[in-house]
A and B are shown apart, each in its own frame.
Chain A
Amino acid sequence: MRRVLPDGLHLGRRDHGLIPVIAAVAAIAALALGGWNAARSLSREWENGAAHHVTIEIPDFTGDAGETAKKLSAVLQSDPGIALVETLPEAQIRAILRPWLGAMQGELSDLPVVLAVTRKDGAPATDLPAILDTVAPSAILEENAKWGERLTLLGHSLQACAWLAVLLAGFATAGVTTLSVRMTLIARRRTIEILHGFGARDGLIARRIAWRSAGLGLAGGVLGTVLGGATLAVLHRLILPFMDQHSIGLSLWPQGLSEWLSVWTNLPQPLFQSLACVPILVALLSFTVAHSTVRLWLRRLP
């Protein structure tokens, strides 16, 4: 026995063509969100790193660089604006120089001493040049903060670009949905006129078509987000060794089901949450656009 009475506004096979188009747009939105997330993390890292880290290089022209470094280190450690002073081990300096000096670097005996200084968060800035002038006049100060402003701007620009891409994806979704709804209205004009003639309210007709569009939008959104999310998950696995020392030995492709699942769960939480929102937002946007398009079109009927 039938329970639901049809009203002639059911989905046609042709309407399902909207799903792959929305999926493509949603995938682009998902990738853009991935880009925004990466840009935000980088931006934060750059901001923190550049603002707090300073490198001091003490050349060893006279053979007393080690002594000067010890004195300087003591002065800096007692400064309230400095959180940490580390002397880079000689092996690490040699490793850094290896690409430039090759086999020659083994013969070098007058390597500079390098101090990595971390400023204390929120403390008044220490006047490092003044300290260096007094304690180690030959030292070279690499103040990373001078790059900070530029890097922050770059980070913000990248985030803005990512949001612009998300916004464009939203516009594309709205445009595609409008087009699809207008095609539906043309194809079902007669049906809609008949329903209107029987006293169907504008809201009822608009809701019926809008729910269909929302359903198609949700299906396309889920499909696109899964595709975009999978791409992001693979990219995330590829860059993991650069971010985490423990992941250096990680194979290129996940092994086994648990590792495949971990690819997803390893995605940063904010990215995971924003990806989960994509299908819902696409469905909401489709509903709103379809509803207003139909309502506007129905105005031509008395």
Chain B
Amino acid sequence: MIRFRNVSYRHERGRRAQGRPVLEGITLDIPQGSFHWLTGPSGAGKSSLLRLMHLESLPCEGHAEILGVDVKSAKRRQRAQLRQKIGFIPQDLRLLSELDVFDNIALPLRLAGARFEAIESEIVSILDWLGLGGKKSSLPDQLSGGERQRVAIARALVMRPSLLLADEPTNALAEEQSWQLVDALQALSRSGTTVIVATHNEALLRAVNHPCIALKNGRLAGVAAR
């Protein structure tokens, strides 16, 4: 469950938030296990909203509750625990260049205290499913854009998150892989994970009917059930 009440966010310079609000007066209710598209033109604040939901930034104003936790009043330890329940596929992918594909995907599990033996088969099966079976020892720099994107997707999925946020996850994927990913995300949503996907892909938006959060100039333009 995500509950935003009149949430505003400005970029920080130093320790103070300054300038024009990137997000302003966002009020949202996203039930657990739902699938939402997040749309809007470039600069509308989609990535900033996802970053707020991923707790990479905190709201400057308003009340934000994610998976039942008030993010502003939560202690750092609580926020860290909350982040472990959130899977994020960022636009810049954030793969560690010195770790191979396997280790990049294992990273969130390693931080949760998992041992190699316990997660090896799970990671291998997700790599096979994403067509990366032969690349598990490759470094990110040795992969194509689409392959890197799939590694970031695998890393977010392997956590079995309660909330999955994806920022343009189909950007570098072939059409068939895009549909495959959307199918997987829908299946994840059906199993109880809240899924929010920011996209420009009109074909996906038309073909897959889910509520759509539309942003414009940092404000909520509407939440449309499609």
Contacts and interface: CB of A to CB of B under 8 A. Distances in A.
Contacts, number: 65
Interface in B9-49: 15
Interface string A189-207: 0110011111111101000
A7 B80 contact: no
A1 B94 CA distance: 26
Nearest first, the 6 A-B pairs at minimum CB distance are: A199-B84, A199-B83, A5-B110, A8-B96, A198-B108, A201-B80
Given A4-B116, A5-B103, A7-B110, A197 B56 contact: yes
A232 to B, nearest CB: 43
Given A199-B111, A199-B112, A302-B79, 20 more contacts: A4-B116, A5-B109, A5-B110, A8-B96, A8-B98, A8-B99, A8-B107, A191-B96, A194-B96, A196-B80, A197-B83, A197-B94, A198-B108, A199-B81, A199-B84, A200-B111, A201-B76, A201-B77, A201-B80, A204-B111
B126 interface: no
B69 interface: no
A274 B158 CA distance: 52
A211 to B, nearest CB: 16
Nearest to A203: B77
A155 B109 CA distance: 60
A115 to B, nearest CB: 78
B52 to A, nearest CB: 10
Interface in A258-302: 300, 302
A6 interface: yes
Interface residues of B, number: 32
Contacts of B94: 190, 194, 197
Interface string B93-131: 010101100010011111110111000000000000000
The secondary-structure label for the interface of chain A is: loop
8 contacts: A5-B106, A5-B107, A5-B115, A7-B110, A8-B107, A198-B84, A199-B108, A200-B111
A226 B196 CA distance: 60
A197 B77 contact: no
A146 interface: no
A190 B80 CA distance: 17
B116 A3 contact: yes
Given A5-B116, A302-B56, A302-B57, A195 B103 contact: no
A194 B107 CA distance: 10
Contacts of A194: 94, 96, 107
Contacts of A300: 15
B80 A200 contact: yes
B58 interface: yes
A302 B72 CA distance: 9
Contacts of A198: 83-84, 107-108, 111
Interface in A170-208: 190-191, 194-202, 204
A2 interface: yes
A62 B70 CA distance: 105
B223 interface: no
A7 B111 CA distance: 8
Contacts of A197: 54, 56, 83, 88, 94
B54 A195 contact: no
Interface string B58-96: 100000000000000000110111111110100000101
Nearest to A302: B58
